[in-house]
C-alpha cells in the first residue's frame, strides 16, 4: 500500500541555500501523511536526492522513496554504479521504487536485467518505468521479467488527458499504477476560470481542485512538488475535497478528453 498523494522534488536541490527549506517542506509532508517522495538522479544533478536524504534522516522507515535512473545509465553496469550514487545521496541502503526515467538507446532487456540484479542484491525493492507509452509497455511485457514493472510515471493533469484514450486503460487492465507528474501543469492550471469557480464553491484553491480531480481516479498516484510549507499544507487539503458530479462535468467541458489515441506527452 502506498499513499495516493505524495511529494515531488523536480526543481529541488538546485540552490544550496534553499536545501534546508526544501527539506523542511518534505518533512512537513511526512508529518501530514504524504509518505511517498519522488526524486531522480537528474533533478538538480543529484541535489534533489541529497535534499530527500536530509528530509528523511532519522525517519527512513516512514517513507517510500522513488528515484529514477538516467536512460544513458540504464545498462546493467552503469545502472549499478548510478544506483550506488543515488543511495549515497539519499542516505539509505535501499530504494523502494527505482524507475527508468525515459527510453533511449540501451536495450530494454538489459535494463530489466539490471533492475532485477539490483533487486536481488537488495539495493532496490521494486522497479518501474517513466514516460512509457502503450507500445513501450507492450514491448516490456513481452520481455522475460518485464511484468515485474511496478509503476509507470507519466505526465497527467486536466490539460494533458491524452493517456485516457490508450495508456491509462492499458495500465488499469494490467494493474500497473500510474504516477502523475506535473499535476498542476507547473502552475499553469491555477489561473483557469473553471478551477477558480469550482474552488470558490468549496472554499478551496484551484490547486486543490486540480489535485482532487486526479485523486478520484483509481490506480493513480499524484506527486505535486511544493517548495514551501504552506503549499504542502494546501496540497494535502486536496485529500478532503470531494468534487461533485456537476464539478466533474464542468471540468470535462473546459478540459475535454481528447478523441482518438494520442502520443504520450512529456515535459
Question: Diameter of the chain by CA atoms?
Answer: 54
Place of cell 539490471: 114
Catalytic residue among 43, 98, 156, 181: 43
Q: Would you call 43 a catalytic residue per the annotation?
A: yes
Cα 17-20-26 angle, rounded to 5 deg: 135
The DSSP line for 206-239 is HHHHHHHHHHTSTTEEE--B-SSHHHHHHHHGGG
Report pLDDT for 77: 87
Report pLDDT for 16: 78
Q: CB of 125 within 8 A of CB of 94?
A: yes
Report pLDDT for 81: 97
Spans in the chain with pLDDT lower than 50: none
User: pLDDT tens-digit profile of 215-234?
Assistant: 999 999 999 998 899 999 99
User: pLDDT tens-digit profile of 41-82?
Assistant: 999 999 999 999 999 999 999 999 999 999 999 998 899 999
Place of cell 518485464: 146
Taking the alpha carbons of 265, 11, 66, 240 in that order, is the dihedral positive or negative? negative
Neighbours of 146 (CB within 10 A): 18
Q: DSSP secondary-structure letter at 185?
A: G
Q: Could you give the residue ranges of the DSSP H alpha helices within the chain?
A: 19-31, 47-56, 76-90, 108-120, 134-142, 167-173, 193-201, 206-215, 229-236, 245-254
d(CA 194, CA 188) in angstroms, rounded, equals: 13
Cα 11-13-18 angle, rounded to 5 deg: 100
Sequence-distant (≥ 6) Cβ neighbours of residue 4 within 8 angstroms: 215, 220, 221, 222, 239
d(CA 26, CA 35) in angstroms, rounded, equals: 9
The CATH number that domain 16-254 falls under is 3.20.20.100
Report pLDDT for 247: 97
Q: In angstroms, what CA-CA distances link 191 with 181, 199, 221, 229?
A: 19, 12, 24, 21
Report pLDDT for 259: 85
pTM score: 0.95
Q: 3-class DSSP state for residue 252? A: helix
Q: CB of 103 within 8 A of CB of 131?
A: yes
Place of cell 481542485: 209
d(CA 55, CA 132) in angstroms, rounded, equals: 29
Amino acid at each position: 500500500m502506498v499513499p495516493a498523494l505524495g511529494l515531488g522534488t523536480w526543481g529541488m536541490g538546485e540552490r544550496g541555500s534553499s536545501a534546508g527549506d526544501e527539506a523542511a517542506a518534505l518533512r512537513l509532508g511526512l508529518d501530514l501523511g504524504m509518505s511517498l517522495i519522488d526524486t531522480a538522479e537528474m533533478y538538480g544533478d543529484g541535489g534533489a536526492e541529497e535534499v530527500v536524504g536530509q528530509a528523511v534522516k532519522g525517519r527512513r522507515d516512514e517513507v517510500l522513496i522513488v528515484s529514477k535512473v538516467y536512460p544513458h545509465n540504464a545498462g546493467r553496469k552503469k545502472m549499478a554504479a548510478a544506483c550506488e550514487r543515488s543511495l549515497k545521496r539519499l542516505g539509505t541502503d535501499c530504494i523502494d521504487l527505482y524507475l527508468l526515467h525515459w527510453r533511449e538507446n540501451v536495450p530494454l532487456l538489459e535494463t530489466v536485467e539490471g533492475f532485477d540484479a539490483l533487486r536481488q542484491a537488495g539495493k532496490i525493492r521494486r522497479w518501474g518505468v517513466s514516460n512509457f507509452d502503450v507500445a513501450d509497455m507492450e514491448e516490456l511485457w513481452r520481455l522475460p521479467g518485464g511484468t515485474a514493472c511496478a509503476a509507470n510515471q507519466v505526465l497527467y493533469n486536466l490539460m494533458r488527458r491524452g493517456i485516457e484514450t490508450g495508456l491509462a486503460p492499458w495500465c488499469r487492465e494490467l494493474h500497473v499504477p500510474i504516477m502523475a507528474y506535473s499535476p498542476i501543469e507547473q502552475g499553469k492550471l491555477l489561473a483557469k476560470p473553471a478551477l477558480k469557480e469550482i474552488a470558490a464553491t468549496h472554499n478551496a484553491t484551484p490547486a486543490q481542485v486540480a489535485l482532487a480531480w486526479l485523486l478520484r481516479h483509481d490506480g493513480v498516484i499524484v506527486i505535486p512538488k511544493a517548495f514551501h510549507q504552506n503549499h504542502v499544507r494546501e496540497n494535502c487539503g486536496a485529500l478532503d475535497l470531494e468534487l461533485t458530479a456537476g464539478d466533474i462535468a464542468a471540468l470535462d467541458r473546459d478540459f475535454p478528453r481528447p478523441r482518438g489515441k494520442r502520443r504520450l506527452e512529456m515535459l
